[in-house]
Amino acid sequence: MMAVANPLEGGVPAHDPVVQSAVRGFAQRFGGAPAWLALAPGRVNLIGEHTDYNCGFVLPMAIERHTVMAAAPRSARTMSGALSPRTMVLHSDAQGTAAEIDLGRPIEPGDAGAFQPGWANYVRGVIAGFQRRGHSVPALSVFVTSSVPLGGGLSSSAALEVATATLLEAVLGIPVDATEKARMCRRAEHEFAGVPCGLMDQLTSVLGDARGALLIDCESETTRVVPFADPAVSVLICNTNVKHALGDGEYARRRAECTQAAAELGVSSLRHASLAQVEASPAISSPVVRRRARHVVSENARTLAAVRHLQAGDFAAVGELMYESHASLRQDYEVSCDELDLLVDAARGMGRAAGVYGARMTGGGFGGSTVMLVSTTEVEAISRTIGAAYARRFGRSMSPFVSRPASGTHLIPVGLGLGGVRATP
């Protein structure tokens, strides 16, 4: 049976501030009320970094930060003379820019034109996915707003892609298999943004579960929920406000090095290599490639161990694995940076006595955020102490926030209660 995530099942109410902002923004920009409201969350990865595109294991959770798209049909009377009758007009509140997408022709990578903003490529890529399936997208007005930090390593791009796909499902009345929807969004990121990511970000945004984290087997592309509901322990996310750019070649270089390592070891992916093979094989051609492989193989083992400890409620053991993960990402995979290292080192310096179980960088690296497991009663004190250390070192602020596990993408029912605006039927 096809596994279709029900887009009408959701965990975010209509009075959520981001939803309200989308409705108000749509009214101000386009007039009237939206006919559809599609929401998709960002994600934080507890452990399992750079293993997804190596067919490994990851343990992310969807977060209570969302991208919301408010949309309505764009009728002929609202078109300017310069617009094609089949045009999607988008405005991004977060970016402060607008884009126009001609829906009357096949959308291809690289054909956006010099004046289209880069963020629109994620939307264009998803539309292209629907076109490849033979669907014709009608003219739409779309207002986009988001509380997912841009460039924070929390999958703002995946949230935009998945929100777009959920919106188009509703507009076209065509349900899409949940995993296939994630694959469509991943292809959009590969082809239209130039980032050869794995499936983790998109699959988490689609299938996020408020009960806990998702253990994703990236070879079989299957998931299971790992409950995480202890109110005494919180997930503290600290955004360095250093924005990474994964399309600049470093991410692709790491992926190519992993592919090379697997080929030299004679395995289909590093998922099927052992640490002993990596350490001892004379076939690996360079110390750099060996270090990349060592990180991936050891990170898979850490991720599976973290699941066992999380299920047992042993947060101290999970925390130690997080510290080991960060050290591997810093030394073997070389994707950390001074800002991330300081936050993790400061957290470790505070230790269990101050309520810190563990910390690591999260996301692709080269900036972004850290994720920490901390005592709920100590969140504010930990944030202040680490924030002060960060400000002393770098002369600027980091941005901390706490998130529980969140539900995946869904539609918000449109009607009364949306800022006093009623949608037309």
Catalytic residues: 201
With beta carbons less than 8 A apart as the criterion, state whether 356 and 44 touch: no
**DSSP codes joined into one string, 84-95:** -SSEEEEEETTT
With beta carbons less than 8 A apart as the criterion, state whether 62 and 204 touch: yes
Which single residue is written with the structure tokens 């004046």?
115
Alpha-carbon span 87 to 138, nearest angstrom: 8
Alpha-carbon span 138 to 124, nearest angstrom: 14
Select from 49, 47, 44 the least CA-distant residue to 404: 44
Alpha-carbon span 300 to 303, nearest angstrom: 5
With beta carbons less than 8 A apart as the criterion, state whether 355 and 374 touch: yes
**Helices then strands, each counted (H, E), the chain:** 11, 12
211 three-state secondary structure = coil
Give the end-to-end CA distance of the chain in Å, rounded to a whole number.
Answer: 32
Alpha-carbon span 213 to 255, nearest angstrom: 25
Alpha-carbon span 404 to 398, nearest angstrom: 20
Contacts of 204 (CB under 8 A, 6+ apart): 41, 43, 60, 61, 62, 155, 158, 214, 216, 408
Burial class for 421, CB neighbours closer than 10 Å (0-12, 13-18, 19+) = middle
C-alpha pair distances (Å), 207 with each of 18, 47, 411: 20, 18, 14
Structure tokens at 257: 């090095």
Alpha-carbon span 202 to 208, nearest angstrom: 10
Structure tokens at 76: 């002929």
The H or E element that residue 68 is part of is: strand 57-73
Which residue type does 167 have?
Answer: L
C-alpha pair distances (Å), 100 with each of 26, 30, 77, 131: 16, 14, 17, 17
